[in-house]
A = this chain, B = another copy of it.
Amino acid sequence: MDYQARIKQAFLDSGIAFTDEELKSIDYADFGLNRLETEGLNLIVYVNNDTYCAKEMALLPGQTCPEHRHPRRGVNQEIEGKRETFRCRKGKVYLYVEGEENTKSIKSQIPEGQEAYYTVRHEIELNPGEQFTIEPNTLHWFQAGEEGAIISEFSTPSDDPSDIFTNPNVKRVTE
């Protein structure tokens, strides 16, 4: 099965109901890195207005969203950075945020050769029904466990172009 078909299947297998239109509009984000299976993220955006945003995200086993933060934004930096709550719906996700290292060896495998771009090590394991809120401008990255993961995100508005990735090669293109 090709990549997009596998992602669609992961969303369908989640038990969450989607419209056909939503399944056709999945955002397969490769961050301009061209190695979707290792560093990628797949999103269905439910709503993104000027006050809040909600989406469903799917990750293949071991797939990783590269480290980034959501800084202040707007012409005069008048808008607070994005705050977001991740809620694991299925599978398992390892989330890493700024803060004290709380494990000797993290459970995720950093994508080979990319160690310089994964700098935060405070590990939070999220199983179905568990959630964590990431405050604005906090570096974070996450990786699905061996069964993949479905994660809901509730947040202030999404504005991908303002995100700052640790890897300078990342290009987050959005239509």
Q: Does A3 contact B (CB under 8 A)?
A: no
Assess the B90–A17 pair: CB atoms within 8 A: yes
Which residues of A pack against B, CB within 8 Å? Answer: 15-19, 22, 46-47, 49, 51-54, 80, 83, 85, 87-90, 127-131, 133, 152, 154-156
| CA gap between A54 and B156 in the complex, in Å | 11
Assess the B52–A19 pair: CB atoms within 8 A: no
| CA gap between A47 and B152 in the complex, in Å | 12
**Which chain B positions have C-beta within 8 A of A88?**
17
**Which chain B positions have C-beta within 8 A of A51?**
51-52, 80, 83, 156
**Which chain B positions have C-beta within 8 A of A46?**
85, 87, 131, 154
**Which chain B positions have C-beta within 8 A of A54?**
54, 85, 87, 152, 154
